[in-house]
Structure 1
Amino acid sequence: MTGTDTDYRERLAAEAKRVRDSGDLGRSEPLIRLFDFLVERSLDGRIPREIEIAQDVFDKTHDFDGMLDASVRVYIHRLRRKLAEHYARAPGDPDWISIPLGEYRVVLASPPAADEAAEQPEPPVAPPKRSINRVWLALLALALVNALAWIVYVDRSSGDDAAVRSNLWRPIADNKRPTLVVLGDYYIFGDAADGIVVSRLMRDFAINSREELDRYLMLNPDKVGSYVDVNLHYLPVSVGRGLRSLLPIVNAATNASGERPGVETMSDMKPEIFKAANVVYLGFLSGLGALQDPLFRASGFKVGDNFDELIDKATGRRFKSDWGVVADGKVPQRDYGYIASMLGPTGNRILIIAGTRDPAVAQMAEIAADQEQLKAIDAKSGGGAFEALFEVRTLGNLNLGSSLVLARPIRAESIWQPERPSGAGNSSHPAN
């Protein structure tokens, strides 16, 4: 069959529509534009040149140089792979669309025999330049290694028995459930303005997973092909320091259960875990994930313009970190640390050890293991569920100390039930 045969063209057009409608090409606009362009030119019996594809599909200028810019060849390679993956899912299709090696056109052919396909491997093609700055990767790796090192080397057999008897740790020591330390990590994605080269890493508090990035792209189609998943998470460096302080006392508090505490990142947490285990969260306030909504429903605080600011709901008083103010390391600055203890949805216990920024997180981990500091919190919180706020003073990366701003009971009613619409009536809940 030839490209001028009417029946062939109709079958090619029909098969192209089936492939496109299947969704197997993904949501990359440049890739879909390339597919449509090649189908259109092939139906017309014309084979475009590389520069024509670069200009008509990828909006390249007239001075496009294929020797320096491999974007067309890279996308042809990606499209060829997408088509192969599509037909791998539907091996019984009588017609297959393929891109002949070394050509810029699509053809309709019968499925290749297995031995024939094996004999004709695709030649190596330069991989997509979806590169990431090596400095960023080094920093991310350093943070992860820092955290994991503390997990490996910390002496888990030690612990302060007096601190375990505090209002913070006693509910876990008295609870026979397993305990899990959850670290507040962050999902980051890449920004590839041209759809190929990742020029920077992005963090958005509203996008905390690959699935949430997909949902965001569905609502913001102009970012499709630009915002890309690069399968990266990072841990704040303070989490590693904080683990060194926390793990001994967590181990001491869980001795009665006979099980060693586990360590997990928030991004890997499944909702059902919050029902099955006691949870000790360590990280930034902005990294609370699934714990954020129930905590701030119970708390006397709400988040301000961002997670660097907490606002007292009753008085309107604001507690804002100075982190956003550029300093030269010679002017003292201020962060805020936060510790809370509350009931989980099944009677388990959830502890929050957090801060607005790194100095506060590390300081709260030390306080959570300090008998005298915990006594001061107990004296003001009154027992039961509570929250405590600390002001943490810093000078550059140096922690100058902290002071307890307030400690108080937090709301007694159940925080795990969905909030009722206005006017839906009230019900009483057991105290926690």
Structure 2
Amino acid sequence: MSDKTPVTQDASAPEISAREAESRAAPRPVLEAMKAAELSALGNCIIDSGALGRSQTYPKLLRFLVDAALAGHVPRELDIAIGALGRDENFDVSSDSAVRVAVHQLRKKLASYYADFEPEATVRLVLPKGRHSLFIEHNARAPEPKKAALLAPPEESLLTKTAGLIRQRSTPALLLLMLIALTANLALLSDSNNAQGKVTAMPASSHPLWASVLSDDKPLLIVMGDYYIFGELNANGNVARMVREFTVNSSSDLEEFRFGDIEQSENYLDLDLSYIPEGSAFALARISPLLAQSGKSVNMTMMSDLTSADIRANHIIYIGYISALDRLASMTFAGSGLAVGRSFDELIDIDNVTYFTSDAGLPEEGQQFRDYGFFSSFAASRDTQVILVSGMRDAGLMHTAQALSETAALDELLLSLGDGDGSDEALGNIEALYEVYGIDRMNFESKLVYSQLLETGNFWGLAVSGEAITQ
């Protein structure tokens, strides 16, 4: 892909009048504001960013509109339906809103791209309402670079880096998550009785089981397992209720869901919302200080926003339920000795045909429950690693985070592997299961019930040692 050539303005140019400023603010045809090569590079840059989602619908649509602009052609709805959406010549634009839905969604995705990746861009590629072709719009609110530099803090901690990511993405779920996590961290730091817990974080971070992600220069990406929700509109166009659909786990999934039911598609609204379990906040509070000890770059994203490029460029630290693994699920169980049972609340030891089933989903008040925590560490490529801090429900997830942040529990896990291969490669490919008992959401007893080295040859159908995994 070509690099995008920035469109700049001479700083020494004289001030423009209010009428000229208003004229510049109005969207203009793209080739009036930039060269053909610049437009092509900008389109490639937007597609490469991943801002258009995992669905191929929107990259295809953007490429089609860029090509149309380069050719000086203003496409009709039917042109878009045939050329970008793969419909035939009998497509009826009057009765099928597929083109309007796709253009509307691309319009929002372009706005999200500039909000997330180029908030200071002086010109933006836009799809004005009522139009089916690309235009250029000047961003009058772009901050001056010098002022922005003065506002930047001299040094960033893990919390400020994460807060910066929240501001950049403007994701309500992340904001709520970090508010909860920050509160939990402050409570831990302010409690003098937790002095021992703070001390154990340092040796835990240098434990061999963490070496696969903390001993090199690769950045760390915390991925929170979230559950995507969207709005269902009533007859007045207001959000009547929030919907959790098990097959819809991201904005791109919602778009595919809409295309599968065009008649109902206009009743669904992407609210850019997701939620996380309460146990994830506790787990984050336990794991984030451990990661901060490494001094490495640490960022955060939601599972619904995770891309393949993220996995290739970062060590991944997943925190959340097993049921929210989404695109990491196939990698997790490729070389595992465990398999998902009747639901994500059940795992099966394949060799011994032993069932581990959680009943912590809806426990009665005062009734004892059993839950399971899941830890896994495996290579995603020759250079990157995935570590899962997970569980079937809150109790299992919270205990796993606690165990992975305490040296004694890490030593117990290491000893449970017996006299097998103790190499760094082997310790980077293991999994474990913790059984947790409790009452009324409180954990009273826990034990390690399963641990095993992973079958690395099963990842992607290739051995992870030697050659890189390129898929």
Instruction: Output the TM-score relative to the length of structure 1.
Output: 0.61
1:171 aligns with 2:171: no
Moved more, 302-311 or 335-344: 302-311
Structure 2: distance between partners of 1:342 and 1:185: 21
Change (3 A) 1:25 1:279: closer
Match of 1:379 among 389, 392, 415: 415
- Residues 329-368 of structure 1 deviation map (CA, whole Å, 9 limit, x = unaligned): x111011100111112133221111011112211111111
Letter in 2 for 1:347: D
What residue number does 1:359 align with? 395
What residue number does 1:237 align with? 278
Displacement of 1:246 after TM fit? 0.9
What residue number does 1:146 align with? 180
What residue number does 2:316 align with? 279
Structure 1 unmatched runs, 5+: 1-13, 28-83, 92-137, 420-426
Give the secondary structure class of the aligned counterpart of 2:457: coil
Displacement of 1:315 after TM fit? 2.7
Letter in 2 for 1:346: R
1:311 aligns with 2:348: yes
1:181 aligns with 2:222: yes
Give the secondary structure class of the aligned counterpart of 1:160: helix
CA contact 2:231–2:270 (8 Å) conserved in 1: yes
What residue number does 2:449 align with? 405
Structure 2: distance between partners of 1:234 and 1:148: 17
What residue number does 2:385 align with? 349
Give the superposed CA RMSD: 3.5
CA contact 1:283–1:353 (8 Å) conserved in 2: yes
Give the secondary structure class of the aligned counterpart of 1:296: helix
Displacement of 1:431 after TM fit? 8.2
Structure 1: distance between partners of 2:392 and 2:463: 34
Match of 1:370 among 388, 406, 412: 406
Displacement of 1:373 after TM fit? 0.7
Aligned runs of 1:112-131 on 2, under 5 Å?
none
Structure 1: distance between partners of 2:379 and 2:215: 13
Moved more, 186-195 or 374-383: 186-195
CA contact 2:363–2:369 (8 Å) conserved in 1: no
Give the secondary structure class of the aligned counterpart of 1:199: strand
CA contact 2:320–2:397 (8 Å) conserved in 1: yes
**Whose radius of gyration is greater, 1 or 2?**
1
Letter in 1 for 2:101: G
CA contact 1:157–1:251 (8 Å) conserved in 2: no
CA contact 2:360–2:369 (8 Å) conserved in 1: yes
Q: Report the identity percentage.
A: 26
CA contact 2:230–2:272 (8 Å) conserved in 1: yes
Structure 1: distance between partners of 2:463 and 2:178: 45
Give the secondary structure class of the aligned counterpart of 1:206: coil
Give the aligned length: 303
CA contact 2:218–2:314 (8 Å) conserved in 1: yes
Structure 2: distance between partners of 1:403 and 1:214: 43
Change (3 A) 1:144 1:308: farther
Displacement of 1:237 after TM fit? 1.6
1:391 aligns with 2:435: yes
Change (3 A) 1:270 1:139: closer
Structure 2: distance between partners of 1:428 and 1:18: 51
Displacement of 1:142 after TM fit? 5.6
Change (3 A) 1:153 1:175: farther
Displacement of 1:168 after TM fit? 1.9
Change (3 A) 1:324 1:236: closer
Structure 2: distance between partners of 1:428 and 1:90: 46
Structure 1: distance between partners of 2:270 and 2:351: 41
Change (3 A) 1:152 1:162: closer
1:26 aligns with 2:61: no
Letter in 1 for 2:201: D
Structure 2: distance between partners of 1:276 and 1:404: 32
Displacement of 1:153 after TM fit? 8.3
Structure 2: distance between partners of 1:431 and 1:411: 15
What residue number does 2:465 align with? 430
Letter in 2 for 1:302: A
Displacement of 1:148 after TM fit? 4.8
Change (3 A) 1:229 1:405: same
Match of 1:212 among 253, 275, 287: 253
Give the secondary structure class of the aligned counterpart of 2:308: coil
Structure 2 unmatched runs, 5+: 1-77, 79-91, 103-127, 136-171, 190-196
CA contact 1:185–1:266 (8 Å) conserved in 2: yes
Match of 2:329 among 265, 284, 292: 292
CA contact 1:300–1:312 (8 Å) conserved in 2: yes
Structure 2: distance between partners of 1:320 and 1:299: 17
Change (3 A) 1:222 1:151: farther
CA contact 1:159–1:249 (8 Å) conserved in 2: no
Which structure has the highest helix share of the two?
A: 2
Displacement of 1:322 after TM fit? 0.5
Change (3 A) 1:158 1:177: farther
Structure 2: distance between partners of 1:24 and 1:407: 52
Change (3 A) 1:158 1:247: farther
Aligned runs of 1:66-77 on 2, under 5 Å?
none
Give the secondary structure class of the aligned counterpart of 1:272: helix
CA contact 2:173–2:274 (8 Å) conserved in 1: no
What residue number does 1:201 align with? 242
Displacement of 1:388 after TM fit? 0.5
Structure 1: distance between partners of 2:299 and 2:188: 14
Displacement of 1:152 after TM fit? 8.0
